[in-house]
Amino acid sequence: MNLVRCSSLSTKLALPAFSITVTLTSAVISNVPAHAGNICPPGTYQQGGGNAGWIGCAPIPGNDPAPSQPSRPSGYWKHSHGALVWGNYPDGRPNFAWTAEYNSREQAKIDAMNLCTTKLQNCRLANEFSNGFLVVVKDSKGTLYQGFHEKRRRAERNARRACQSAGGKDCKVEQIVNSSPRFYRY
């Protein structure tokens, strides 16, 4: 077998019956490992590799994506107002009237007072409230107390504490009024 050098990248083998030309590519003769291109997603570049034994992706500086448009709200919240009025029956026993889920604070007070005066006397505004729960409790003597909060359980706790701190015993819930804000869809 005779080796004849033709060029730097080709070698010709001369055999008695035939001849073969072998062409070497750069991947065969170079020391660089072959990779299948960039494995990183768009907006990032490949780093590491080589002798480090790892490849990672890093964001391209200044290539921040455009900020997304804020989503359009699906509706709106509407305040909910109410009022509590204390009053007494003609025999002196205490009672109360209330309104809830009004769009107007003023109208809630007017209607609560009108409800009270239809059956009770000595009517007086005890509380006006918005966006939560009003709880009325009564002690063993019949005295009324109230508590308010955005959350029902806290409103109950506030009403019982008002009763107990005034010396009331056996404070029981008489009424729970829900005047939470309302959500309206577009």
Domain ranges of the chain: 76-185
State what percent of residues in the chain have pLDDT above 90. 60
Flag whether pLDDT at 183 surpasses 60. yes
Of residues 75 and 21, the one with the higher pLDDT is 75
pLDDT band, residue 13 (cuts 50/70/90) = very low
The DSSP secondary structure of 32-85, one letter per residue, reads: PPP--S--SPTTEEEEE-GGG--EEEEEPTT-PPPPPPPPPPSEEEE--EEEEE
pLDDT, mean of residues 149-165: 98
pLDDT score of 21: 46
Residues 6+ apart with CB under 8 A from 56: 46, 47, 48
Average pLDDT over residues 18-25: 46
Give me the mean pLDDT over the 93-99 stretch: 97
pLDDT at 36: 54
